[in-house]
Amino acid sequence: MITDKDKFEEHINNLSNTSNLLAPAADGKKEAIVMLEQPEKPKPKRIKPIAFVLTGLGVGAVLAGIFGYRYWQYASTHQSTDNATVVGHIHQVSSKIAGTVTHVLVSDNQQVQVGQLLVKLDPTDYENKVQQAQAKLESSKRTANAAQANIDLASQTTSGKTTQAQGNVSTAYAAIANAQAVLQEAEAGVPLAQAQVEQVNASLENAQIDYNRYDALFKQGAIASQQLDAAKASLDIAKAQKNSALQTVQQAKARVAQAQEGIASAQARLAASGGELEQAAASGQQTTVNRSEYEAAQSAIALSGATLKDAELQLSYIDVFATNAGRIGKKTVEVGNRIQVGSPLMAVVENNYWIIANFKETQLNRIKTGQLVEVKLDAFPDSTFTGRVDSISPASGSQFSLLPPDNATGNFTKVVQRISVKITLDPQSVKGYESRITAGMSAEVTVEIK
């Protein structure tokens, strides 16, 4: 039987086995102090790597959310495109007449002003035409004077045969004057024909030199026979042109001789008019005829006057002026060139530029005239320019193409169309870049559609 005393002793033994110690008390008595083992401290838990990953993802998600919100906020108030170019006024300069260039007074990329002389042509041919027109006008005036004289003479019905004869004499004098005017006109044509001969001679000499050069090169085996044949053909053409010009000179001289014969014939008629004193004609009928001749002469005067004005106008076109201010570009004309009417000589590009931006049709919902635009040019990536929406094109680019699409053909494919938007640049924003910005530069534009 286990008593309470036995349990107490067993408990004391257990305490002894667990390193119980007896410590002296302050009063000298020993008391049993039970020193129990303290439990070991728990080791700190290690944070697993997945926690770092989750933390980083959380921060990234927050930053992405902030960026996404700001991008959404920006995109909802702006429309952008990089399909944009700089556009400006480009004026082609050409001549209204054909001729040979004697002076070119500008160079590439030079700044010019309105009315500045650009090119001069040889005036010789057109000066000769003016002289011919003046001679023809003078001839028409003399013919009109002769017709007026005939009217006056024919109206003198009481003079009979004498009056009629005197009218014939006056007519003969008028014929002489007319023949002399014709002679002047024919003589004016001779220098023109001779000038053509000189011009053709120059072309012939040039063709002969080219042929001799190609012939020497061909004999050396430096060129193909086709090039020699082409030079020979050019030489033959120049010779033919010379023969034609010589014939023109002969024809002009023949016209002079013919005009001289006309004068002699008119003088013969003047001498023969003395024998016509016996011939009489009805005064009224002759007067009517003479009045018709006078009216025809007046018409000839008007035509000759118009011809003279046209010749003078053509002469004024030998000087080619700038019609707009800007810079010279694509200059192809050189001294000595033979140019034709309307041939492009150079271009004048104005310093006033704007932007043509091709937006998708889905971007035009909130784009309106007057909205603020930010412009960046590829040529100046570190600079930002500003402008305003000026206007929107009335049709897409495909509608202005040579062959507009026809969606009724049966093979329709929906394609997002591009619409041109004109953007004017703020002069203050492009200050300092006026001479550096050129037409055709690529641009990126952003329209603020708040």
The region of weakest confidence among 126-135, 239-248, 290-299, 366-375 is 239-248
Across the range 190-217, mean pLDDT stands at: 74
The confidence score (pLDDT) of residue 240 equals 76
Nearest to 269 by CA among 356, 355, 170, 172: 172
Number of H helices, E strands in the chain: 6, 14
Separation between Cα atoms, residue 189 and residue 217, nearest integer Å: 42
- 28: pLDDT confidence band, cut at 50, 70 and 90? very low
Determine which helix (DSSP H) or strand (DSSP E) holds 117, and give its type and residue range: strand 117-121
Per mean pLDDT, which of 70-74, 159-163, 244-248, 273-277 is the most reliable?
244-248
Separation between Cα atoms, residue 295 and residue 102, nearest integer Å: 44
The predicted-structure confidence for 45-57, as pLDDT tens digits, reads as follows 554 567 666 676 6
Distance of CA 223 to the CA centre of its chain: 39
The confidence score (pLDDT) of residue 40 equals 52
Q: What are the boundaries of each domain within the chain? A: 4-33, 123-317
Across the range 98-127, mean pLDDT stands at: 94
Cβ atoms 266, 203 nearer than 8 A: no
The region of weakest confidence among 47-56, 184-193, 196-205, 358-367 is 47-56
Across the range 352-366, mean pLDDT stands at: 92
- 170: pLDDT confidence band, cut at 50, 70 and 90? confident
pTM for the full predicted model: 0.52
Under CATH, which number does the domain 123-317 receive? 1.10.287
Which residue in this structure is represented by tokens 């050019």?
234
Separation between Cα atoms, residue 317 and residue 325, nearest integer Å: 20
| The pLDDT of residue 291 is above 50 | yes
Q: Residue 443 corresponds to which amino acid?
A: A
Please provide the average confidence, as pLDDT, over all residues in the chain: 78
Across the range 1-26, mean pLDDT stands at: 46
Rg (CA), the chain: 53
Determine which helix (DSSP H) or strand (DSSP E) holds 81, and give its type and residue range: strand 78-94
